[in-house]
Amino acid sequence: MPTKVAQKQQGAVSHRMNFWGRPAGPSTVAWDYEDMPWEIVRPDDGLPAARRSVRCRVCDRELTFTVYSVTGTGRRQARWRALAWAGLGILVAGVVVLFSGAMLGGGVALVIAGPILGLVFGMAASDEVGISGHGNGFPVTNAKHAVTASPPPYDLQDLACTTCGHTEEFPRAAYFREDYVQEQYEAARDRFARHVCLASGGTGPKW
Ligand SMILES: [Zn+2]
Ligand SMILES: [Zn+2]
């Protein structure tokens, strides 16, 4: 799933602390990052990418990233997906070559390369958050500075009584499913509609 992007969203710039990957289980290495919160502000759709600077707390370097608009980011995600599909095409071509028996070695190479390219570009598509610079967003590499973006919360109107300040809470974090959030929001709206406002000289709760 591609990362959800919004014109304004909370992100983080991370400075990688270790030069070599720390062994973390068989055939995996771990990278320790020091995270600094960074509010990502994107240019309007249709405008070219903007340069945004942020100072790294760890190495005190001024980092400049290229930040793409929401639609610009969508195009970049689509480009990675197209390359991932091309990887699948290479796999299919390899199978065809193998069955034709024309070039056995070539067919094997294509069958191996295709899925690897598909995987690498597919991962790049899901990691793409429309921010480039300092090696961020390139597949496979482990940049010294990485940028991550938290998915923005659901855009729903607050349910707050303007007279007494009573608010009806509902979940809106991006990691909840959309239909769950919608269901909970409707329930909260029903509760809010039954709100008896004491401050406005209402009838008070009925027992
Ligand atoms: Zn740094
Ligand atoms: Zn009220």
Which sequence spans correspond to the domains of the chain? 8-149, 153-207
* List of residues 6+ apart from 110 with CB closer than 8 A: 90, 91, 93, 94, 97
Under 8 Å between Cβ of 34 and 56: no
Which ligand places an atom closest to the C-alpha of 145? 1
Each residue of 47-71: pLDDT tens digit? Answer: 999 999 999 888 888 999 999 999 9
**Ligand 2 centre distance from Cα of residue 161 (Å):** 5
The answer to which of 77-86, 142-151, 183-192 has the lowest mean pLDDT is 142-151
- pLDDT score, position 204: 47
Under 8 Å between Cβ of 31 and 16: yes
Which ligand places an atom closest to the C-alpha of 193? 2
